[in-house]
Structure 1
């Protein structure tokens, strides 16, 4: 999920050690029968950007029509180098690249639903049409896009596994630990990539 330049070290919204996921993801993709990539693809005036809210700073939380929203640095702007999939990420085997966060007024962490909880991305239908029932999640960031996607996938009835050495988190005030606990409670399996590759 969202292994893009802006989330790597030096990017606009760098996830600590974010580039460490690329190797494990590439190895796992070689074993996967189907590969789906997601890509944050924000318009330049996206409502989740702190720069759009006078007097607000990145990582502050505000109330929006759909609930609480963390404000972010401008990142993954459509067509910008920061929105590119990460250098070194092998994308040739991807069956689908799903772009999310395209609506100017609504953020999107989950690959299934926008943050308003009602606007669907179409991913659930795509997976069902392909006859897929189990998802193995990797990428960035554990405590936001991975978490929300895992929980929504479980609500949709999919079996979900998160590969712990192929994800990294932002970790705001213990948010990574909270994410793992929430996923465990929802029945999400947590494994190491070596157990798949073996």
Structure 2
């Protein structure tokens, strides 16, 4: 069984958000295409309390219940089967979807007999990378859809380093076009 995991595709990470991935909006059409090929779709959300120590490191973003924490209107939201909430405590946490506080992602995937996980979303260097590395540690065949993933590019070379680290750890890099043309969903 294959599952699609959309990481933190939230308004605050889009170009007009408080912690923007400059090309974050460009991944939405690709993710919508991908969603048509999966029977199990999971999405994570940063869901921070208003006064979190997390904001000592980052600008305030994705505060629980805020417009910035919501999925963009252009995302095909009704296709999402499960939403994971992470970063919900007053900690510098919630980088990986496997850190969700409302449900154990690993248990949910096992319950649905998922062995292959296709990951996309925002941002390459932080939450996507941490989710990919945790998926690999948990033993999932892990694919990262590059054209459905965008980086924040805070420092030159960070995004490339993240791609290299994920691939070195065992992730398979792919694209939407390659998947819809080659893989049998």
Using the size of structure 2 for normalisation, the TM-score is: 0.90
Aligned residue among 85, 96, 99 for 2:85: 99
Extract structure 1 runs of 4+ deviating beyond 3 A. Answer: none
**Counterpart in the other structure of 1:182:** 165
For residues 113-192 of structure 1, the aligned pairs below 5 Å read 113=99, 122-173=104-155, 174-192=157-175
| Structure with the larger helix share | 2
**Counterpart in the other structure of 2:20:** 14
Q: Secondary structure at the residue paired with 2:98?
A: coil
Q: Secondary structure at the residue paired with 1:135?
A: strand
Question: Partners of 1:99 and 1:88 in 2: how far apart?
Answer: 20
- Residues 90-120 of structure 1: CA deviation (Å, up to 9, x unaligned): 1111110111110112321101137xxxx89
In structure 2, do the counterparts of structure 1 residues 190 and 16 end up closer, same or farther at CA, with 3 Å as the change threshold?
Answer: same
Shift of 1:172: 2.7
Shift of 1:13: 0.6
Using the size of structure 1 for normalisation, the TM-score is: 0.84
**Counterpart in the other structure of 1:61:** none
Aligned residues between the structures: 174
**Counterpart in the other structure of 2:179:** 196
Question: Partners of 2:154 and 2:92 in 1: how far apart?
Answer: 21
Question: Partners of 2:103 and 2:161 in 1: how far apart?
Answer: 25
Q: From the CA coordinates, give the structure whose radius of gyration is larger.
A: 1
8 Å contact kept, 2:85–2:102: no
